[in-house]
Structure 1
């Protein structure tokens, strides 16, 4: 079918017309994504930010058709500002002429002032309040830009494509499957079909050795995970429809695009499933797009939400639980080594062992980072002594306060973080009430605020601090860090 025969095609933006045109051309050839596409996820050649949603699809399709191997894209203005120019062919013709690709963004504007919306107004609001405020006070404005692939540009620095280690890519995919199986929808292996059971909230997959390739397995698994996000306790899409009707086709479309997005986010090569689909599936896509091209963009938008949701949930879970087993093992190994080197009379653990145990108790990455930064500072040896329970200031309360204040310098305004890290130290006494230590943590935060310049970079402390504070503060600082003259 020609594009002028597609319902509503002329009302689409140039970006969307381009997507429909390219996608239908590919579907006519029997595939969605070409097996020759190796450029990777499209990104800004200036900021490195990855394109999402419809812009991702636009630039990916263009890269396939044109055979680009560079995944970077820039606007003409960005080129001009940096003194870059278009390359010329053997006849001296401008290679960029007619090769620009339209992409689009939506800018939020205030309904009253008509100016760009100030997102700071949403600070402190709940999700429901934010949605209600935006519905009542904000409207979107579509902005279009023309971008050019880096292969057309002379002067832009060459860059080696970032191809992540295959094992890391597999680990990332497996982490998603493991998270989903343990926390969301149970994954059941066996049988000859891949499907999501709405009734049981289960994903069913054939055994791995039934797939032609590893990529095909992950593509199928991510596709079914995409379906499972429709459950009412996740993204809450309607999944009650008859097979092979219009709603079924739309759900298949969004799940398939979502799995493409997830594969791209994981740097997994396009699978055979996405390169050579069955004729029936392709015809199903074509019929839906030709009937209503906006259905494609609704599916792309939903697919982007699905991909972000799945990968976001898996990453958040990993961040909360990252390396807990590793740190426990590390702590055990260090303790074992120390035990072999000690006599029976030696009962105090080495500082390294205590530090390892400390990080094992710190499940949050940010807590471990604060601990490591404080430990590696000037007079960091005194920090470790305090942390390991030594009463350096000959007064246990002063020593507790000194350790708290050291931590507060790096914890911003987060009293809970100061208290949380302190609680893993040997100075922490569980016979004292929590209110005692929480009050001390609050005082430590106030001390840090008074002591430090507002815009001091924490990475420059404590030397920068010692140059900036008054003589009185310097004396107090010496107490905090137990600095000896």
Structure 2
């Protein structure tokens, strides 16, 4: 049983997360292509807060029937315990620490910098004696994916104009519009909306929206900013697909697709965490939830550990 609830100063959290994503990709699993329609959006069972950023994909990849989790401290507080042989799963968060060597800010106080840390959580299926009234029933609402997709597009603040000038999909940053092939060109509604969501995520990077460097600087194909921007769009569109109940579109030539991301991840341990945080901000913008965004994309664990 793994009861660790705090991170070690000596561990490289970026590397831990990257190693896990690499492990999944090498096994042929694309973490951001895991829908949550059957098992629910991963959330903390006590606070009822959904996990965000990279934590969402890390927990979703575990394939539990119910995506409800809690920390070791929370489990003890409700009188539960972990089943023999079960181990916790990491979730990461940002913690403000004093800069070293120490520097003072304009108010003569020590400058603080964000440091990536981790906690461990357990799925409710790994535990026993959790009060039944704490674990919600999985939602079984029947939704129309097309209506949900249209609602997102119509509800996006400052949504760029969507045009159908030519048979290719792209976001034109200088003129701030999205071009899409005609809808009838797509084999399914899912592939159409998934492609449109990809371009909508790109559009959130415009200066007047989120001002994301990876799209503003118009980086060359294959460069690091270009690759990060593409992963941001992949992660964001995958989230929106699951949010609306769309089945994820098939990735053509998946072996080459996976190999491409493996190369990027192995060369930069911060790559996946940076892209996940930016994708979460993009999704929040599209869903008009910017005002609800917490100070840190990954700070839910700090708050959860304080829940009594």
TM-score by length of 1: 0.49
1:148 equivalent in alignment to 2:122: yes
Distance 1:36 1:301, change over 3 A: closer
Contact 1:249 1:284 in 2 (8 A): no
* 1:347-392, Cα deviation, whole Å (9 max, x unpaired): xxxxxxxxxxxxxxxxxxxxxxxxxxxxxxxxxxxxxxxxxxxxxx
Which residue does 2:59 correspond to in 1? 59
Within-5 A mapping of 1:307-322: 307-312=283-288
Quick one: distance in 1 between partners of 2:244 and 2:123? Answer: 20
| 2:304 alignment counterpart | none
Aligned counterpart in structure 1 of residue 203 of structure 2, from 228, 244, 264: 228
The aligned counterpart of 2:265 is 289
C-alpha distance in structure 2 between counterparts of 1:285 and 1:18, whole Å: 17
CA contact (8 A) 2:148 2:244 kept: no
- Partner SS state of residue 197, structure 2: helix
Helix, strand or coil at the partner of 1:232: coil
- Partners in 2 of 1:204 and 1:285 — Cα distance? 26
Instruction: Give, in whole Å, the separation in 1 of the partners of 2:152 and 2:273.
Output: 26
Q: Which structure: larger Rg?
A: 1
Select the residue among 19, 22, 31 that pairs with 2:20.
22
The alpha carbon displacement at 1:161 in A equals: 1.1
**Separation in 2, partners of 1:142, 1:183:** 33
Q: Does 1:301 align with 2:277?
A: yes
Aligned to 1:409: none
In structure 2, C-alpha distance between the alignment counterparts of 1:101 and 1:19, rounded to whole Å:
11
Say which SS state the counterpart of residue 244 (structure 1) adopts. coil
Whether 1:199 aligns to 2:145 is no
Kindly indicate whether the alpha-carbon contact (under 8 Å) linking 1:187 and 1:204 is maintained by their aligned counterparts in 2: yes
SS in structure 1 of the partner of residue 79 of structure 2: coil
SS of 2:287 mapped into structure 1: helix
Map of 1:101 onto structure 2: 89
Matched, 1:262 2:240: yes
CA distance in 1 between partners of 2:114 and 2:223 (Å) = 32
1:197–1:312 CA distance, 2 compared to 1 (3 A): same
* 1:70 alignment counterpart: 66
In 2, the alpha carbon distance for the partners of 1:106 and 1:142 equals 5
Which structure 1 residue ranges, 5 or more long, are not aligned? 1-9, 88-93, 112-131, 317-485
Structure with higher strand content? 2
User: Which residue in the other structure is 1:47 paired with?
Assistant: 47
Aligned partner of 1:218 in structure 2 is 193
- The residue number in structure 1 matching 2:230 is 252
SS in 2 for 1:183: coil
SS in 2 for 1:162: coil
1:420 corresponds in structure 2 to: none
Query: Which SS does the other structure have where 2:288 is aligned?
Result: helix
Number of residue pairs aligned between Structure 1 and Structure 2: 269
TM-fit CA distance, 1:192: 3.2
Higher helix share: 1
249-258 vs 27-36, greater mean Cα deviation: 27-36
Query: What residue in structure 1 maps to residue 143 of structure 2?
Result: 166
Match of 1:73, SS state, is strand
Determine helix, strand or coil for the equivalent of 1:288: helix
Using the TM superposition, give the Cα deviation of residue 105 of structure 1 relative to its aligned residue in structure 2, in angstroms. Answer: 2.3
Q: What is the distance in 2 between the residues matched to 1:312 and 1:233?
A: 15
Query: Residues 86 and 269 (structure 1 numbering): CA distance in 2 closer, same or farther, change over 3 Å?
Result: farther
Partner of 1:242 in structure 2?
A: 220
